[in-house]
Structure 1
């Protein structure tokens, strides 16, 4: 949920039970958003009209190429070789989709960095469409909260689902994972948005012979991190969907021959920001939901010690946490400040090489056959300029990582512990 939203009074309630348990919620911001969601929306009606018109065009036999197919033919291609520096450079953003000035400023600053660094791929770490996710695959918010802000960042974006993308009755609850299918459907007609399914992998080839240089594994963390209990048995924490996803991720990581393996998931394993870490999100440590206890199990039993990085958003902060014995050498990075910023202070004390809880920003991952580096940039929103704040470098897969501060930058930030 967003920083200004309420936390459930107890774990494992459905959305209806949550609201009935405390009717006063209806008088505050949550109630206002619930009523807004229940009201008919002009943009949803318009989206349905566009979809209907497109269907009529195809059925009429006019012989025109459907718009989605035309867009597919012009889709920005995935990189097929390292850039001029012998590396893949990847823009990392998270929690971006507000459509407000901060998102536009971060994107503008990122455009300059991407040109200088030869970036050919981008990642969106969830909460792509605030506050409630899209109402349809043709929702105008895809344009105002993704396409327009990212004009000039002309590359494929590996997208993952966040809790706001899967809102149910309550915005940001993660209570209706099926809503994520609208973002999968949108990907079929977008040049940038890459989401072939709700979870997937993308492997980028090395320059010479052999296996991939880097492989990304995008996962859907919502059914095991929602703020409310799932009503649909398919999406329950131990339902068919999560069993299938876990088996896929386990098999994909085991089979991967990539030098570098990177897991993309909206909810972090470890986190020093307000939301906390998997297993105790927002102070809850009981129940199958809210706390993310089953996502903690997934990360620890399937990901840690196999992937070099876990990249997450959810917390509106920038954090480069240190690999430890607990993580099996896997480094957790939180990059969720592309549209909203944090509260300015650390809430937990996991070892970190650098962290920032106040500024907007983004990161750039660079992977070569020699090393993998992640650069963190903070953004001054009024001037739309980026500042390289910190870098971490790993010279061997799951090996010792060296951390270096950028010239003139401090390795500490507001609230660091």
Structure 2
């Protein structure tokens, strides 16, 4: 039986359909991956950032300690918080820096797990598409790098990897004359608006016990770069509204833990993968600044549905700072 619509009804239907398609398209922008958890329902991973220097500036020594801790704690994967290749990213998919700074450095057996990587500002100075290329994934199956994406780890935690470099105004008018690869980002405002909508929608739809957002740039930091105002203005309100538990970043070449007094968010900086900035620290409210180390190292995170634990390690494998938080598990009668 045929169905007829008058013009107002048809217009309304078309408008509704358009909204639905736009919503689906927006959500689909964030590709989703799945990470299995252990049989006991636990999860462990390392976080390292700002590392890609061909083994120099103690990158090799940090990698060695990562291997030891990774084996002892039986980690499941590794997160990189960006600036994967200094100084100017990769020149292309055949750039030897990929092997020199990644494959040949993180050789320990425990580090032969999936690496989930975001881009940093130095990566944007090279060929961004090279780091995103599936060819690199074939060359080293551990490598997975996208601009922004979602990682599900059972019903324990959902990770939201966010491309933060395009938020920063100064990279578009860099007085130092650096060239950035903005292919896939222009027009910038459309890119950022869609990304923020995607992150907000995905966070609202999350059913995981923990929500963790990963980006390269700092939101709160006492380090050299300090606060990234563009993220405070545009991204932070979304994280707070959706009650994100942790924001993990690199960019400042240090190890740092700031516990927000304004929300439940813990701000964790792991940017000590190679070159560190000794003594480059600004004053920060001691009520929030739980830990700051101006040296090289990395972070370990272990999680269950009930508890999350973090440990910061230095280049010698010393545990510098430990912190944990628990959550209640709601049961259905």
- Relative to the length of structure 1, the TM-score reads 0.64
Counterparts of 1:194 and 1:298, CA distance in 2:
26
Q: Distance in 1 between matches of 2:251 and 2:280?
A: 16
Deviations 1:326-373 (A, max 9, x none): xx211111110011112224213142111111x210000111011111
Query: Which residue does the alignment assign to 1:320?
Result: 257
* Corresponding residue for residue 282 of structure 1: none
Higher relative contact order (CA 8 A, sep 6+): 2
Tell me by how many angstroms 1:134 deviates. 0.4
Aligned to 1:263: 213
SS in 1 for 2:235: helix
Number of residue pairs matched?
A: 281
1:161 maps onto 2:119 in alignment: yes
For the Cα contact (< 8 Å) 1:83–1:118, is it kept in 2? Answer: no
Which of residues 169, 172, 184 in structure 2 aligns to 1:229? 172
Over 3 Å counting, the alpha-carbon distance change for 1:226 and 1:236 in structure 2 is: farther
**Structure 1 segment 296-307 matched on structure 2, within 5 A:** 296-305=232-241, 306-307=243-244
Give the stretch that moved more between structures: 227-236 or 104-113. Answer: 227-236
Whether contact under 8 Å (1:202, 1:216) holds in the other structure is yes
In 1, Cα distance between equivalents of 2:215 and 2:204 = 18
Output aligned runs, 1:141-220, within 5 Å. 141-152=97-108, 153-167=111-125, 179-185=127-133, 186-189=135-138, 190-195=140-145, 197-205=146-154, 212-220=155-163
For the aligned residue pairs, the C-alpha RMSD in angstroms reads: 2.1
| Residue 254 (structure 1) shift | 0.7
The residue that corresponds to 1:332 in the other structure is 267
- The answer to whether the 8 A contact 2:35-2:151 is kept is no
Corresponding residue for residue 290 of structure 1: none
Change beyond 3 A, Cα 1:105–1:83: farther
| Structure 2 counterpart of 1:110 | 66
Q: Secondary structure at the match of 2:222?
A: coil
Residue in 2 that maps onto 1:275: 225
Alpha carbons of 1:277 and 1:235: their partners in 2 closer, same or farther (altered >3 Å)? Answer: same
Paired with 1:261 and 1:329, the residues of 2 have a C-alpha distance of 11
Label 1:344 to 1:135 Cα distance change in 2 as closer, same or farther (>3 A): same
1:234 positional shift: 6.4
CA 1:227/1:158 → structure 2, altered by over 3 Å: closer, same or farther?
Answer: same
Offset, 1:239:
2.1
SS at match of 1:301: helix
TM-score by length of structure 2 reads 0.79
The residue number in structure 2 matching 1:99 is 54
Give the 3 Å change call, closer, same or farther, for CA 138–164 of structure 1 in structure 2: same
Once residues 228 and 372 of structure 1 are traced to their aligned partners in structure 2, the CA distance between those partners, rounded to angstroms, is 35
CA offsets 1:102-132 (integer angstroms, 9 cap, x no match)? 1111010110111110101100000001000
Determine the C-alpha separation between the residues in 2 that align with 1:216 and 1:250: 13
**1:347 corresponds to 2:247:** no
Looking at structure 2, the residues matched to 225 and 234 of structure 1 have their Cα atoms a distance apart, in angstroms, of 16
* Long gaps (5+) in structure 1: 1-76, 169-178, 206-211, 280-292, 380-384, 398-417
**Superposed CA offset, 1:137-157 (max 9, x none):** 221111101111111210001
Which one of the candidate residues 374, 378, 382 is aligned to 2:314? 378
The answer as to whether partners of 2:43 and 2:304 remain within 8 angstroms in 1 is: yes
1:38-78 CA distances to partner (integer Å, 9 max, x unpaired)? xxxxxxxxxxxxxxxxxxxxxxxxxxxxxxxxxxxxxxx96
Q: CA deviation at 1:180?
A: 2.1
